[in-house]
Structure 1
Amino acid sequence: MKRYLSGSAALGALLAGLLTASSVIAQPAEAPVGTAPAEAPAAPARPLPQGISESVAAVVNDDIVSTYDLAQRMRLLIATSGVQPTDENLQQFQREALVSLVDEHLQFQELRRVEREQKIDILADETEVTEEIAGMAQQNNMSGDQFLTFLAQRGIGPETLRDQLRAQISWARWIRGRYGSRLRVGDDQIAAAQARLSAEAAKPQYNIGEVLIDASRVGGMPQAMQGAQQLVAQLQQGAPFPAVARQFSALPTSAAGGDAGWVGAGEMPPEVEAVVAQMRPGQLSQPIPVKDGVYILYLKEKRAGGTAMLVNLKQAAVGLPQTATPADETAARAKLAALKPDIKSCATLEATAGKVQGVIAGDLGEAEVADLAPQFREAAEKLAIGEISDPIRTQAGLHLVAVCGRRAASAAQVDKQQIEQRLFGQQLSMIARRYMRDLRNSATIETR
């Protein structure tokens, strides 16, 4: 593979035009590190500077990637990732956009070669691409036309999005069609995974979002680390994690906004596992270097392992300081005692209690029985599910406590089908990444 690097005044001027206020597309999935408004005011795209003409940004086996293509892809990344362009991260956008365009040219070249040789249709047609756009628009509470108008207001032509989606749909179809039927996740692999999970059942489990910056794709570990650091900074400033994962992550979970679901010990790289064990729910990690690149994690939830008993509690409470008079305490007890018969279930507790002046109701979430305050622990151990305690006195006040769920921590096991799907996805993702690496290594790529 040959690469020729040189400066480009035309490209620099085009990129400078991207440093403009930019609103982002709201993400339908839960956006743990910030969300964007669905109908933010449009920022007009900056026109090409006068005297600057379109030029060549790269040549991929004689296919040309123009500076216009590159600027368009950068605008699309900005609009759909929620990462705001700055002087510091503009080079990352340029690198990601150029790498994506080069990869897509290689994919289209390979797919057309296969179509010619095997006389089959692989490339997605216009209907498929339009359906994908409609799905994206629906996720953002827009019609297809509104979605394309949203992009047009940011200087993004419809073919920029259509080309990206056509490449994604077609390449995924080819990889799954060529290798999916050959991959076999054996019963021994599933049994080994189940045995490992059972052995690790005493350890905590984590519900995580994940992003992997693939070092081989972006030019090496230094570039991957730099890119990850810039993404973390943007996530901390409010960029939606799902949107960032969809545009930048090399993992198969990118299609789901980086949502990896519940994972346990042994299911993550050791470097990642060591970091997530120290994180708190709601926390975003710093970049984590691993063998193939750099991880970014978002910890959504954490649950205990082992044989610990977990309970889900709700409460209705009256605030009462320790210095309250006996008369105040008697009145508060009477108020809660009168309320208790009206609460028919956990589902109605908050609404029912909310009608009584001076009573505060809420969901206390899931916790280990052993970690509860002594007064609540006794209720959690003795009450049946759906049953409500008598008023309990704490330093904060008086509480009615309802047990809304109870389970052993080790009961949340991943079933055989989930394990098989995860192993299949991991193998297919590894094959796809190797395939792309081989295409890059055998191609003639000139960037200018």
Structure 2
Amino acid sequence: MDFPITRIKGGVGAAKGFLTGGVSCGIKNPDSDRLDLALIYSEVPSVAAGAFTTNRVQAAPVKVSKNHFADGDVRAIVVNSGNANACTGVQGIQDARTMCKGVAKPLKLRRTQVGVCSTGVIGLPMPMSRVEPRMEELVASLDKKKGNDVARAIITSDTREKELAISFDIDGHRVRLGGCVKGAGMICPSMATMLCFITTDANLSQSCLERAVKESVEESFNRITIDGDMSTNDTVMVMANGASGMPLVARGSEGCKQFRDALGWLMLELAKEIVRDGERVTKFVTVKVEGARTHLDAKKVAEAVCKSALVKSSWNGEDPNWGRIIHAVGYSRARIREELIDIHIGGKAACLGGLQAETPMEDLRKIVAKPEFEIVINLNRGEAGYTMYSSDLSPEYVDFNRSEYAYWKQARKDGLV
């Protein structure tokens, strides 16, 4: 960004005019007191925009929220963890709508002014007998300083909450922008397995916000991968309420461009934190593709390398195996010439012109032994480029995901299956 920003506290609750809260329902485990139901609410009218999973199998809350966001008139978001409410049929749709109604009525909103999200195990009905009775308490929990409660309530296999807030000037007016995100496994481009909620008190036109969200998602959450799996519930929701008191910012204006740059920066930082907190990962790897003939060719190469189980396994083993990288480049379906490909790891040449470079292997091994490093792949065929953020694949990841569905035992006790 070419303008200054200031990091501030508050996460998704940092912007003026927004209240946040969270409660414990015991959705996944009735004996647990961890927060698993959260609410974000704008005290004044707001505009909203969202991005949703491109998976052809979509969870009930995704279907409901896409409909509610169609007009951009959303003032509240209710979200739960512990159950994805996915592949739950007509009852799932009804449960998602019931969650919207549960907060809409006490907030004096229409049901369609509430977005709804869920994350957790796929295929099990929502335990609404534990959720519905807590709706009044959820609304009563709303406060100006509980942004962290939302960040904590939405995590599943995450090891920690992930939130960020900033302030900056648009046309001489100070505005605030804050958000939180969850995601650690089933992370793949074209939205990762993630939920992201962002609020701002900037006064934006609907079209300005929609364009900013679309472009920012493409350059952040659509550029990360951990395990190559795309979920049924992926969602990004952004609300802007104008509580900063600034004049309306129209699409195409310099102010809209400034907001888009700030939103893009915030989303990218949150996206990187998803990768760093990936399920049992030990490496954060930036993969830059340069010299491609087209943007699409660069993207194909980056995705092939970042999704390769062989490449990711070598990163976990701290093995600078550039052969696995170039073989992924070769099957990416991008237009490449083997004899032109250069690969640098941590700034040192591993492959030049498709052949082994003279850099000592031990020097490269020291680089990939670090928790974070960068790989640059130059195709030397044009000017286009693309950057992605990935991780290694560990034995611990496999072990962790072998036992995730213990929740089915509790579901049987609840009479849900």
Task: State the TM-score, normalized to the length of structure 2.
Answer: 0.27
Looking at both structures, which has the greater relative contact order when contacts are Cα pairs under 8 Å and sequence separation is at least 6? 1
**As a proportion of its length, which structure holds more strand?**
2
| Structure number with larger C-alpha Rg | 1
More helix by share: 1
